[in-house]
Amino acid sequence: MKKIFLVLVLFSFATLSAQQKYVIGTINTSMTLAHFNSFISNVSPIGFSVEYRKFIDRDISIGFASGVNYFSESSADSYNFDGTVVSGNNDRSALAIPLLLQTHYFFGYRNKPSFNFGFAFGAMYVSKSISSASKNITQNRFHVTIIPDAAFTYPINEKMQFISQIKFNYAMATTKKKTGQTWDVDDFGFLSLNLGVMWKL
C-alpha cells in the first residue's frame, strides 16, 4: 500500500510539473538577413513578441507565439519591386507578424539560471512597401516560416524570470499571381535579440 501511495504521489507531482504554464513578453532588436537585407539594411529597434508555453514534462514545453517587427529605411538606390523599378529617393518599410506553433527543451531547473533551445513553425504575414515621388507600391504576402531560437533564463522571484533570446526568423520564398502573371517573392529573414520576462501562471 505504501508503494502504491508513493507511486501516486510521484505521478501527481510529475503531472503537476508537466502542467506548468508560462507567458513570455519581450522587446526585440532585429538585423535583416538574406534577400531582405538588400531591401532594408538598417537595424530595427521596433518589435515585440508574446509567447505561451506549457510543459508536457520536466524538460519539454509546447505552445504558440506571435509578435510584430517593423523595419524602415530611406534610400537613393534604385530597386526592382514586384517587377517595377523604383529610382530616385525612396522610403522603404516592412511589417512582419508571425503566427507560430513551437516547442522548447530546457536544460537544468526552472528555478535556477538555465538555457533552453526551441523551434517554431507556422506562417508570417509580411507587408513591404516602397514609395518615391512618382510611385507607391505595397506587397502583402503570407510566407511559410521557421524560427529556431536559443534562450537564457534567470529567476527574479517565484513567479518571474528574466529571459534573453536569440531568434533566427526565416520566411521562405513564395510566388505571386496577378492578371495571368506569376513571379517570385523573395524570402524574408532577420536575426533578433529579444529581452523580457517570463511569468509563471
Per-domain boundaries in the chain? 20-200
One digit per residue, the tens of pLDDT, for the chain of length 201 reads 444 444 434 444 444 445 789 999 999 999 999 889 989 999 999 999 999 999 998 899 999 999 999 999 999 888 887 777 888 899 999 999 999 999 999 998 878 899 999 999 999 999 999 998 888 889 898 999 999 999 999 999 989 999 999 999 999 988 766 655 555 678 899 999 999 999 999
CATH number of 20-200: 2.40.160.20
SS (HEC) of the chain? CHHHHHHHHHHHHHHHHHCCEEEEEEEEEEEEECCHHHHCCCCECEEEEEEEEEECCCCEEEEEEEEEEEEEEEECCCEEECCEEECCCEEEEEEEEEEEEEEEEEECCCCCCEEEEEEEEEEEEEEEEEEECCCEEEEEEEEEEEEEEEEEEEECCCCEEEEEEEEEEEECCEEEEECCEEEEECCEEEEEEEEEEEEEC
- Can you give the pTM of this predicted structure? 0.83
